[in-house]
A and B are shown apart, each in its own frame.
Chain A
């Protein structure tokens, strides 16, 4: 499964959940998959998706989904322990793991040597799963949307450099304003 295919499957399973996506290609592919008002694209700030999602989840009665890459997750592994210590029931962390820093040219990431799933479990996530195929992603994601969290879904994806994925066209302020409006509604 390629990363943009995984993102498409995730987005097809959504209703009104808030989705926060990490910097680089993941935000761009999410923007291309479906530019929802509930999407918050983090264009910079690698490593901050999980803390921001945690803050939102603790403040709202809505489901919050943070989508990380393996590189951004490892940049701030400690944030998993903050989630585990607070255990927000409405938070799902998804890591799209391709084993490399693809957005910057495919450099090797140590995620291939370590089991992020066990780390998340040790940090206190209630539900954890690792999926490699489209069907299992669809099933697990649906299940995690229904379950009491926090949940951690590790999605193994192929290295799949796509050409010409557009950048997010909204300015950071526009992204924030429409996201806040969606929350207030």
Chain B
């Protein structure tokens, strides 16, 4: 378990300063504790969140989106026809609803099962967030800086409190 303080401080320390997203209950602790000095733009759709963060990324900001995995479906075109071909890095923090073996609502069953294979097919690197979050973030940031592509961090229920 990591605290929201550690979570946001780690992002701040690496210079992340522009955020957007669409809420998920797993994201509640994070989105309800956005530090006042950081810019968070509420988005109406996940691809708009990615778009607005990409515009910021083009403009010298370091950006991240927070979305539910259902919204991964909504950003695939943006990833394939924008971020991955123009090489525009944005950190993707994606929740894991419907993880196999974990009871959840039926609408999450399929995406819960196929989320990681989708990221593999898109060749988007990812890690599942655990207590080593600060180090995992450094790993993601290094790839974003070096390869200029989005990197995903997957977040499960209760990992950030």
Interface residues of A (CB under 8 A from B): 20, 40, 42-45, 47-48, 50-60, 76, 78-79, 81-82, 85-86, 172-173, 175-176, 179-180, 183-184
Cβ B43 vs Cβ A82 within 8 A? yes
Per the bound structure, the CA–CA distance linking A122 and B42 in Å amounts to 18
Cβ A60 vs Cβ B59 within 8 A? yes
Q: Across the interface, which residues of B come within 8 angstroms of A45, CB to CB?
A: 51, 77-78, 81-82
B100 to chain A, nearest CB (A): 32
Nearest A-chain residue to B81, judged by Cβ: A44
Q: Across the interface, which residues of A come within 8 angstroms of B10, CB to CB?
A: none
Q: Across the interface, which residues of A come within 8 angstroms of B53, CB to CB?
A: 55
B14 to chain A, nearest CB (A): 17
Nearest B-chain residue to A175, judged by Cβ: B86
A155 to chain B, nearest CB (A): 22
Per the bound structure, the CA–CA distance linking A40 and B41 in Å amounts to 22
Nearest A-chain residue to B61, judged by Cβ: A59
Nearest A-chain residue to B43, judged by Cβ: A82
Q: List 17 A-B contacts (CB under 8 A).
A: A40-B58, A45-B51, A45-B82, A48-B47, A48-B51, A51-B47, A52-B51, A55-B54, A55-B61, A58-B41, A59-B18, A59-B59, A59-B60, A82-B42, A86-B41, A173-B86, A179-B58
Q: Across the interface, which residues of A come within 8 angstroms of B20, CB to CB?
A: 55
Q: Given known contacts A48-B54, A52-B52, A173-B87, what 16 new A-B pairs fall within 8 Å (CB)? A: A45-B51, A45-B81, A48-B78, A48-B82, A51-B47, A55-B41, A55-B56, A55-B58, A55-B63, A58-B52, A59-B55, A59-B56, A59-B61, A172-B87, A176-B87, A183-B60
* Interface residues as binary, B77-92 with A (CB distance below 8 Å gives 1, 0 otherwise): 1101110011110000
Per the bound structure, the CA–CA distance linking A184 and B60 in Å amounts to 8
Please pick, from B44, B55, B86, the residue contacting A55 in the complex, using a CB distance under 8 A: B55
Per the bound structure, the CA–CA distance linking A28 and B151 in Å amounts to 31
Cβ B77 vs Cβ A44 within 8 A? yes
Per the bound structure, the CA–CA distance linking A183 and B77 in Å amounts to 26
Cβ B81 vs Cβ A76 within 8 A? no
Cβ B52 vs Cβ A55 within 8 A? yes
Cβ A78 vs Cβ B58 within 8 A? no
B84 to chain A, nearest CB (A): 9
Cβ B52 vs Cβ A82 within 8 A? yes
Q: Does B125 contact A (CB under 8 A)?
A: no
Per the bound structure, the CA–CA distance linking A30 and B63 in Å amounts to 29
Per the bound structure, the CA–CA distance linking A93 and B16 in Å amounts to 27
Q: Across the interface, which residues of B come within 8 angstroms of A79, CB to CB?
A: 44, 48, 51
Known: A48-B47, A76-B48, A78-B48. A55 touches B82 (CB 8 A): no
Q: Across the interface, which residues of B come within 8 angstroms of A81, CB to CB?
A: 44
Return the 3 tightest CB-CB contacts between A and B, nearest first. A55-B55, A44-B81, A51-B51
Nearest B-chain residue to A180, judged by Cβ: B58
A17 to chain B, nearest CB (A): 14
Per the bound structure, the CA–CA distance linking A86 and B87 in Å amounts to 27
Q: Across the interface, which residues of B come within 8 angstroms of A44, CB to CB?
A: 77, 80-82, 85
Q: Across the interface, which residues of A come within 8 angstroms of B88, CB to CB?
A: 176
Cβ A56 vs Cβ B87 within 8 A? no
* Residue from A40, A76, A85, A176 with most neighbouring chain B CB atoms (10 Å): A176
Cβ A55 vs Cβ B18 within 8 A? yes
